[in-house]
């Protein structure tokens, strides 16, 4: 193995490491630096210390964005995981059992295929799709029906207190199938003897779910929560395309990524946008660390 090892190793690593350092590492490092300047792109950047961060604290849109992340962070994982767990349970062990062999309900395979499909579509495309679905007049999918029934149209994206929830619904719509498949994989690896034993002791389906499936699936649930949380910190594509005025109405759906994009590429406030980027980074890291720490518990060996 010795002969000519180093030329080979260097030859194989050179291109990927160079690409990675130039396009990933260098920008990340620079972001922290730029966030301490008042750079607007034209003149040389001036060092302003923590000024940008102080201004963040007084920025109404920044706090609105943080608040929206808070809502998404709680609601998106909670709703998605609840629905996905319910479906995954039905699809894997919800049907009748034959000789102790648990089975899913009839048509499980079909449902799994259909539910997963939105995952394959780009979020930007889904956002355009739901713009049509939510349209406030008779050409919208939902309001077209409501108005035919003589009801008033629901202004999904225009009403400030409804807009964020309308967007959240789309995120759930896309995510559920992925987690159904993920949880199904977890459930399939739970030995059937455990279900058999529980059944013999007279456990109902609800008991089975809460006492057997849920504890044995804990690790997968934790991964799901972290994934959905990270998704809640992004949400750029959906907000940029689906919401009114990219984050509107009047900032009612804005998220940090949207504010970063706007400050950097519309207002050319590069220093300020970078400070927001750094804030977003620390929020994401804190969330991931906290989740992994708080949800830590003895995993059940089986």
Partner 1 sequence: MNPQSTLPPTPAALPQSGARNGAGRRGKGRRSEVGLFAGLGHVALAVWAVIVIVPILWTFLASFKNTTEIFSSPWTLPGELRWENYARAWTKANVGRYFLNSVIVVGLGTFGTMLFGSMAAYVLARYRFWGNRVIYYLFVSGLAFPVFLALVPLFFVVKNLGLLNTHTGLVLVYIAYSLPFTIFFLAAFFKTLPSSVAEAGMIDGCGHTRLFFQVMMPMAKPGLISLTIFNVIGQWAQYQLPLVLLSNAKDKWVLTQGIADISVNAGYEADWSGLFAALTIAILPMIIVYAIFQRQIQSGLTSGAVK
Q: Which of residues 143-162 bind partner 1 (CB under 8 A)?
A: 144-145, 148
Asked whether position 52 contacts partner 1 by CB under 8 A, the answer is: no
* 82, 121, 292, 300: residue in contact with partner 1 (rule CB under 8 A): 121
Q: Do residues 204 and 224 lie in contact, with contact meaning Cβ atoms separated by under 8 Å? A: no
Of 162, 168, 157, nearest to 72 (Cα)? 168
131 contacts partner 1 (rule: CB under 8 A) = yes
> Cβ of residue 104: shortest distance to partner 1, in angstroms?
4
Site residues (CB under 8 A) for partner 1, limited to 202-221: 204-205, 220
Q: Which stretch binds partner 1 (CB under 8 A): 71-79, 127-135, 156-164, 292-300?
A: 127-135
Find out whether 233 and 214 touch, Cβ atoms under 8 Å.
Answer: no
Given candidates 40, 53, 66, 116, which one binds partner 1 under the rule CB under 8 A? 116
Give residues 218-237 in contact with partner 1 (rule: CB under 8 A).
220, 223-224, 227, 230, 233-234, 236-237
Q: Which is nearer to partner 1, 137 or 161 (CB)?
A: 137
Q: Does 43 bind partner 1 (CB under 8 A)?
A: no
What per-residue string of b and e applies to 151-178 under the rule 16 or more CB within 10 Å gives b? eebbbbbbeeebbbebbbbbbbebbbbb
Q: Is 292 one of the binding residues for partner 1 (CB under 8 A)?
A: no
Among 62, 156, 225, 261, binds partner 1 (CB under 8 A): 261
Q: Which of 80, 92, 166, 254 binds partner 1 (CB under 8 A)?
A: 92
State which of positions 155-194 bind partner 1 (CB under 8 A).
173, 176-178, 181-182, 184-185, 188-189
According to DSSP H, which parts of 22-93 are helical? Answer: 26-34, 51-57, 60-93
User: Is the CB of residue 233 less than 8 Å from the CB of residue 277?
Assistant: no
Q: Is 31 one of the binding residues for partner 1 (CB under 8 A)?
A: yes
Smallest gap from residue 247 Cβ to partner 1 (A): 12
What is the chain's alpha carbon radius of gyration, rounded to the nearest angstrom?
24
Dist CA 182 CA 233 (whole Å): 21
Cα–Cα distance for residue pair 219/113, rounded to 1 Å: 24
Q: Are 187 and 88 in contact (CB under 8 A)?
A: yes
Could you give the CA distance from residue 28 to residue 224 in angstroms, rounded to a whole number? Answer: 26
Tell me which stretch binds partner 1 (CB under 8 A): 54-62, 70-78, 106-114, 154-162: 106-114
């Amino acid at each position: 193995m010795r002969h000519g090892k180093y030329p080979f190793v260097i030859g194989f690593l050179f291109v990927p490491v160079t690409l990675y350092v130039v396009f990933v590492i260098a920008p990340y490092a620079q972001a922290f630096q730029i966030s301490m300047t008042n750079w607007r792109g034209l003149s040389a950047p001036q060092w302003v210390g923590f000024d940008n961060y102080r201004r963040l604290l007084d920025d109404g849109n920044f706090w609105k964005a943080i608040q929206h992340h808070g809502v998404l962070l709680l609601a998106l994982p909670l709703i998605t995981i609840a629905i996905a767990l319910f479906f995954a349970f039905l699809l894997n062990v919800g049907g009748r059992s034959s000789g102790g062999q648990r089975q899913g309900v009839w048509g499980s395979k079909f449902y799994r295929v259909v539910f997963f499909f939105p995952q394959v579509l780009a979020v930007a495309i889904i956002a355009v799709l739901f713009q049509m679905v939510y349209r406030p007049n008779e050409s919208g999918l939902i309001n077209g029906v409501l108005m035919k029934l003589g009801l008033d149209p629901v202004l999904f994206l225009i009403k400030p207190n409804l807009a964020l929830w309308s967007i959240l619904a789309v995120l759930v719509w896309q995510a559920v199938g992925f987690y159904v498949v993920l949880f199904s994989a977890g459930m399939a690896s739970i030995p059937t003897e455990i279900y058999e034993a529980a059944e013999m002791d007279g456990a109902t389906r609800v008991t089975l779910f809460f006492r057997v499936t849920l504890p044995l699936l804990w690790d997968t649930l934790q991964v799901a929560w972290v994934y959905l949380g990270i998704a809640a910190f992004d949400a750029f594509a959906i907000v940029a395309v689906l919401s009114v005025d990219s984050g509107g109405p009047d900032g009612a759906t804005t998220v940090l990524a949207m504010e970063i994009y706007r400050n950097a590429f519309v207002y050319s406030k590069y220093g300020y946008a970078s400070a927001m980027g750094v804030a977003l980074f620390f929020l994401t890291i804190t969330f991931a660390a906290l989740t992994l720490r708080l949800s830590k518990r003895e995993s059940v060996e089986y």
